[in-house]
Amino acid sequence: MSGTAAELGNVRIDGARLWDSLMEMAKIGATPKGGCKRLTLTDLDKQGRELFTRWAAEAGCTVSVDRMGNMFARRPGVDDSLPPVVLGSHLDTQPTGGKFDGVLGVLGALEVVRTLKDLNIRTRHPVEIANWTNEEGSRYAPAMVSSGVFAGVYTEEFAYSRVDSEGKTLGDELKRIGFQGDRPVGGRPFHAFFELHIEQGPILEDENVDIGVVTHGQGQRWYEITLTGFESHAGSTPMPARKDALLGAARVVELVNRIGLANAPNAVATVGMLNPYPNSRNVIPGQVWMTVDFRHPDDGVLAGMDKALREGVAEICAGIGLTQETQQIFYYPPVAFEESCVAAVREAATKLGYSHRNIVSGAGHDACYIARVAPTAMIFTPCVDGISHNETEDIKPEWATAGANVLLQAALAKAEIVA
């Protein structure tokens, strides 16, 4: 089948095939509670990558891998010298992750390419499917490091040197699983990039909206804070004489919460990790390491939150005799997605009869870095109760189908159908 854009305007993907692929991928790293644990660059990640490679080859794609392990499955265009329209997300998960976060974007893109092959639809531009390495950042911080290298935010050397909790470096693990390719990272144009993703929040489901047209991505700042006091005997050290690092940490947690509330409704502020030392029941903690995550769509507000955190931590520590080190380890400013790509998503949803609304992404995504080097937009589908980064994360098959249909039409608009 071939035809004009008008004739192909209502072409749809095979929703049942997409759902079957999602469920098949979910078997790799399946957890007892119905989720997935497929941490980046583990043997399970390797299995997921190999399955994706086989599926992409069956769909008529040639798969290449760059030096960060980013995978690109290419369907040639009629003019294969043109920059590709790229669709994708990531296959790695959180330790207690779900079956859809990231995976929907990769397999939804695969379903788009399968549909083009099934119907013999030719496009002027090549179409590629991307699987970005280490989007989650759960094994190697910072998150989205490989799309960050692609966009020139990080160097390969920085990325390779990231270390997990067992002392294994990202670079060594990339080689170990056999996915350190020889293709340069970045340095080539994309005609457009679209990322399909579950919302990871409750808005679309609460409002019974089919599609989120993502206009912006929130800016983020991540911190690591070390508070140092003095460990001593819990039974014989008087209260006024203590230098309790955990007490300081408790007050920092409250500070972070206050900062988030003070900048509501768009701000979120979280302490996600807290490790006291020596972690003994009868020893006053002498040191605490903790993390802070700030997010807001306005960079000026984020800067104000940063100032409030640094001043507040210093004041807390001075009050109880602690020293402190506050280090920002990750930052990217708020992202405004490219207008023509956003319009392509909105027009696709309208054409297909799906309800839709503009939405701001509260989570970080590879698209936020790719937006620095290519015209980019995102498509959100609802997820049940807004739950993500949890084994109970769930979506409905019809939501997945709707999102992939919009992805297909947006891709066709940019890749240009050739009759």
* Helix (H), strand (E), coil (C) string for the chain: CCCCCCCCCCCCCCHHHHHHHHHHHHCCCECCCCCECCCCCCHHHHHHHHHHHHHHHHCCCEEEEECCCCEEEEECCCCCCCCCEEEEECCCCCCCECCCCCHHHHHHHHHHHHHHHHCCCEECCCEEEEECCCCCCCCCCCCCHHHHHHCCCCCHHHHHCCECCCCCEHHHHHHHCCCCCCECCCCCCCCEEEEEEECCCCHHHHCCCCEEEEEEECEEEEEEEEEECECCECCCCCHHHCECHHHHHHHHHHHHHHHHHHCCCCCEEECCCEEEECCCCCECCCEEEEEEEEEECCHHHHHHHHHHHHHHHHHHHHHHCCEEEEEEEEEECCEECCHHHHHHHHHHHHHCCCCEEEEEECCCCHHHHHCCCCCEEEEEECCHHHCCCCCCCCCCHHHHHHHHHHHHHHHHHHHCEEC
Question: Rounded CA gap, 308 and 68, in Å?
Answer: 36
Sign of the C-alpha dihedral, residues 342, 343, 344, 346? positive
Binding site annotation covers 80? no
Binding site annotation covers 293? no
Closest listed residue to residue 246, CA positions, set 208, 278, 211: 278
Binding site annotation covers 101? yes
Binding site annotation covers 206? no
Question: Rounded CA gap, 244 and 257, in Å?
Answer: 21
- Are the C-beta atoms of residues 36 and 45 closer than 8 Å to each other? no
- Are the C-beta atoms of residues 215 and 359 closer than 8 Å to each other? yes
Binding site annotation covers 197? yes
Place of tokens 């094994």: 139
Please report, in range form, the residues annotated as the binding site for Zn(2+): 90, 101, 136, 197, 389
Please report, in range form, the residues annotated as the binding site: 90, 101, 136, 197, 389
